[in-house]
Structure 1
Amino acid sequence: MAVTATYPIVDGGEPRTTVVTKSNRDGLSQRERLAPPMPTDRLAGWLASLAIAAVAGVLRFWQLTEPRGIYFDEVYYTHDAYGLLTHGYELSDIKSGCDGPGFVVHPPLGKWLMAVSEWLFGYTDCAGIRHGSPELGWRFASAVAGTLAVLVLARIARRMFRSTLLGCFAGLLLAFDGLAFVQSRIGILDIFLMTGLVLALACLVLDRDHGRARLAAGLVDASNIPLGGQASKDVSEAGNDNQESLSSLYKTDSNKLRFGARLGARPWRLACGLCLGASLGVKWSAVYTLVGFAALAIAWDAGARRTAGARRPVLAAVRRDGPQWFVSFIPLPVIVFFATWTGWFVTDGGYNRHRFGDGVWAALHGWWYYQQQIFHFHEHLDASHPYASKPLSWLVLGRPVAYFYSTPKAGEPGCTSPAGCSREILAIGNPAIWWVGVLALVGVLALWVSRRDWRAGLVLVGFTTSFLPWLAFPNRTMFLFYALPLLPFLILGLTALAGVALGPRTASDLRRLVGSLTVGIYAIVVVLLFVYFYPIMAAQVIPTSAWRVRMWFPGWI
């Protein structure tokens, strides 16, 4: 006997009403389990996401050209971008007179993005002559990337949790995180890596939704199917609990009963591979996330086909989805990564370009040898640095990096304190996001273990593939900003637990009130902490006494 029941979801979304049968005890039909409905407030969802992205953009672009001149690793990457812009390859440093190619240790895509920005707004040439607005030239692309990441994360969190409120919550956290803010205002590579991975994440989730929607569209009513032959035998032998789902699956073809339908082209999966390849073209460390996303994709395929009633879901995923999975996650990222080196191949002056002679094969040999040299550099990088830190300390913001620091005297521009002032750019995350986010991973793990929530699984895979590999290099010189790719996954973990706190619409008024107050107060604390630390992240001139009270721990100085 079928009964009507409301299925409560724990992500702050709308309750659903469906038909519960013996073979559907969780209260969801096959179609609903495969493709849960999206929120209906599409226009409001876009407006809210764009509003949060606009706030993030204002924060990132405001006084972007301050401080004037080059600071921290801009000394390397802005010059590399200038070389790409003018020669198609990176040049030796200015001290050497830019008289030849430079050996660089990261792929060129992030620097190409900066080169476009320098072409638009300005740069400093090898003679030290300023053209246009150089600071805007080498920081503009970073600010665009940081703002785009906020918009994309808000939109994809809305899709993941089927809640505009939770999507905006995720976007707000990224907009007001200090590390993301600082990295969006400096001409170095890490913001491009994070944004590339956020785009890959978005494409991965979109592919999951679209693939499952196609499977759901292939389901038909069992009462309309004239079963016969092997299909009828399969259904009759399946047992009462499975007869309904098997008989309603893709009409009568036996292969379809065993493996499910073919889904056709998977453009979002290809786009995911493209974004992962582009991320590799910024920094090699994206390879770990590529492996994690590839594993998630095939696991989700098997889960979707199991939900759709495939008798052999793992084999079905390999057989039906495997070819496109292979193309998307193996050759495509490699091809895209290779393409980011186009400037090196089509010019003659790049480092190692003619080390083994002329011709295509000599160029390929030189390029491969170049990659080996880069690998050797990273493998043996152990130079001391006052702001170096170990990966475990990143989780507690143990050693943020001072990108810029000066001590204006009383009477100098902006300094009114008789005791003198301080001006700093400190790359530090928002403690309310990082500290609480790391603790929240325990709750995310519990959510995955108890409910097999795919969103919790995504958070855990994204976090572990972005963090754990660094533990394998205990002697390497590393910095807190290497942890930037962890941030979107910490935020999604916090968003998942915020959904649990809010509860379903069918929860009691008291439960909803307590959950709303908890999430709301937390969001306010995040914003207030960002405001509190803003002066030491944006090179504002403040009294040295005010600077000291923001140095909560000795490791922050």
Structure 2
Amino acid sequence: MGVETDAADARASQGGADGDHPAASGLIEEPIAESRGTRLDDWWGRVLATPRRRTLWYWGGPILVTLFAAVLRFWNLGHPQAMIFDETYYVKDAWTLLQNGYESSWPDGADEDFARGDTGIYLDDPAYVVHPPLGKWMIALGMAAFGAGDAFWWRASTALAGTVAVFVLAMVARRLWPSTIVAVIAAFLLAVDGNAIVMSRVALLDNWVMLFALLGFWFVLLDREQARRELERRLDAAREVGRDPHYGPAIWARPWVVAAGVAIGAACAVKWSGVWFLAAFGLYLVVVDALARRRAGVPFWLTGSVLKQGPVTFLLLVPVAVAVYLASWSGWLVTDGGYYRHWADEAGNEATGWLAWVPHALQSLWHYHQSAYTYHIGVHGEHPSQSNPLTWLIMFKPTNMYFASTDDGSGGCGADTCWESIIGIGNPLIWWAAAAASVYLVYRLARYREWQTGAILLGLAAGYLPWLAYLDRTVFQFYSIAFQPYTMLALAAVIALALGRRDDVTWRRQRGIATVAIFLGFVVLVSAYYYPIWTAVPVTPEFRQLHFWAPSWAT
């Protein structure tokens, strides 16, 4: 991303009629050039003066912020030892996937029994679920290794996903800007934000959608550079032998596109909303290829991109994603007990005509999908924490996931009455600044056509805009975790502009560094202030109430 600077432009006044410059005659002194950079820049340059130190910072910065994120996510993760919010579905579904290969039913009151360690009371009857299995398989990883008796292991893999996402975001940011400090700042914003922390500490599905989509985004960015180099190499080789590449080559050797297909297919296999990332990033690959061909001088660059490279890119991306998605249903397909598993075997249900060849298992799976889609579009019930997607960017209605109260002085907060909460309130400074930054990037894209800005906004649009078609559906603020990495990147983009460059004039560079340092300092203080109500630390009712900076937050 380009950074505009107020370059020192010391112009001398024009001379007399003969055009002589007054300075040439020694009548005035030459203007003194403004100093550039800061002493901090000089010191940092000395710190990174050797290749070894630069390598250490290149990897050490992202790793340190990732370790910090891990502490925030794993500390006291097993508290509370109770089903939180939709853990009542996904934890038990994950456990029965391990046992039966499909999601099974549970008797009434199973949440309390499960939390006490009685995990074998599930039934063999199938449960009707409306999300694909992969997210629940991922939740099951911790329980597969260490059992389901401790809530820590219900949530461990989800916390790991949130931690890994911090590192991936740093890698993504460094693909966008050649600056490790900006990459570390972007990752730090995600590491300390409340919505990201809460969604990493509760065993829900959405953190996995976020991670897999973010991985897909990273792979698409990696392909961008690799495909450009391969295109230029192939064009140069063709021109050297006298061939005129009218349309440009069709490039099959694009492993990062295949990797993106795997990652985004996995996002779809957690929740169907991942399909919007598949569509958006697939379109992005075609557009980037078209622009690369145009810059490389390919005469029919648009036709070559859409009709020649486009089908190749589609085959490298979409079938891979579909295969990953279908593989996530393998437990349902290879067992007999899943819901609707033998629907097509019942009289009158099997397909006839030209679809009669389709195996009954796939026919039953298709019917299951039709039923689940009907359910999804028909969810219109009332919930005290539901929120309108139009307000997600400003965090108007956070989700209250857990509340417990003690009134006998044993709560641990130093008062008779103690409250414990897990509320998905993001750090207000981060969220509101990121919302403003996202709006500013829309202007910046129109004004400067920066590819980094376009990529960030595309990820944000893929995760957010489709929800605007479901304004009357019961949805929640925590769904925003799927697109939160892109709002963090938007804020990091503005921070990069504020920091400027090392060769900026000193006063501007100092002002930018000071502004960013003050902002990040307050971010840390606000996150420390909110951390108790993100992690069920016992507090007094009065202290809890002080965290509701907007009336709609008091849930």
**1:73 and 1:510 mapped to 2: Cα distance?**
52
Question: Aligned pair 1:81/2:97, yes or no?
Answer: no
Aligned to 1:468: 465
How far 1:263 sits from its partner (Å)?
A: 4.0
Distance verdict in 2 for CA 1:11–1:51, change over 3 Å:
farther
**2:517 and 2:159 mapped to 1: Cα distance?**
28
Aligned to 1:324: 312
CA contact (8 A) 2:79 2:152 kept: no
**1:108 and 1:255 mapped to 2: Cα distance?**
50
Question: Aligned pair 1:119/2:112, yes or no?
Answer: no
- Equivalent AA in structure 2 for residue 336 of structure 1: V
Aligned to 1:162: 178
How far 1:317 sits from its partner (Å)?
A: 1.9
- Equivalent AA in structure 1 for residue 270 of structure 2: V
* Post-superposition CA distance 1:231-251 (Å, at most 9, x none): xxxxxxxxxxxxxxxxx9842
**1:510-529 paired onto structure 2 within 5 Å:** 510-529=507-526
> SS of 2:419's equivalent?
strand
How far 1:465 sits from its partner (Å)?
A: 2.0
- Larger mean Cα displacement after TM superposition, 420-429 or 340-349: 420-429
* Post-superposition CA distance 1:45-91 (Å, at most 9, x none): 11110000000001101000001121211110011001100010000
* Post-superposition CA distance 1:210-252 (Å, at most 9, x none): 11233355576xxxxxxxxxxxxxxxxxxxxxxxxxxx98424
For normalisation by structure 2, the TM-score amounts to 0.84
**2:194 and 2:509 mapped to 1: Cα distance?**
30
How far 1:261 sits from its partner (Å)?
A: 4.7
**1:300-339 paired onto structure 2 within 5 Å:** 300-339=288-327
CA contact (8 A) 1:166 1:495 kept: yes
> SS of 1:465's equivalent?
helix
CA contact (8 A) 2:413 2:538 kept: yes
CA contact (8 A) 2:124 2:337 kept: no
**1:141-156 paired onto structure 2 within 5 Å:** 141-156=157-172
How far 1:262 sits from its partner (Å)?
A: 5.0
* Post-superposition CA distance 1:63-121 (Å, at most 9, x none): 00001121211110011001100010000133295240010010000100111211112
CA contact (8 A) 1:109 1:278 kept: yes
Aligned to 2:393: 395
Among 46, 60, 85, the alignment partner of 2:73 is 60
Aligned to 2:434: 437
Aligned to 1:191: 207
How many corresponding residue pairs? 486
> SS of 1:285's equivalent?
helix
**2:228 and 2:504 mapped to 1: Cα distance?**
29
Among 269, 281, 306, the alignment partner of 2:269 is 281
**2:519 and 2:182 mapped to 1: Cα distance?**
13
**1:374 and 1:76 mapped to 2: Cα distance?**
16
**1:217 and 1:515 mapped to 2: Cα distance?**
41
> SS of 2:286's equivalent?
helix
CA contact (8 A) 1:90 1:102 kept: yes
**1:305 and 1:113 mapped to 2: Cα distance?**
40
Among 482, 487, 490, the alignment partner of 2:484 is 487
How far 1:415 sits from its partner (Å)?
A: 2.8
- Equivalent AA in structure 1 for residue 166 of structure 2: V
- Equivalent AA in structure 2 for residue 315 of structure 1: T
How far 1:301 sits from its partner (Å)?
A: 0.7
- Larger mean Cα displacement after TM superposition, 356-365 or 137-146: 356-365
- Equivalent AA in structure 1 for residue 366 of structure 2: W
**1:539 and 1:368 mapped to 2: Cα distance?**
41
- Equivalent AA in structure 2 for residue 200 of structure 1: G
**1:416 and 1:431 mapped to 2: Cα distance?**
27
Distance verdict in 2 for CA 1:277–1:414, change over 3 Å:
same
CA contact (8 A) 1:11 1:161 kept: no
How far 1:341 sits from its partner (Å)?
A: 0.3
How far 1:321 sits from its partner (Å)?
A: 2.5
> SS of 1:407's equivalent?
strand
In structure 2, stretches of 5+ residues that fail to align are 6-49, 111-121, 347-356
Aligned to 1:549: 546
**1:105-504 paired onto structure 2 within 5 Å:** 105-123=130-148, 131=149, 133=150, 135-217=151-233, 250-256=239-245, 258-357=246-345, 361-418=359-416, 420-504=417-501
In structure 1, stretches of 5+ residues that fail to align are 1-7, 13-38, 124-130, 221-247
Name the Cα RMSD after superposition: 2.2
**1:460 and 1:51 mapped to 2: Cα distance?**
28
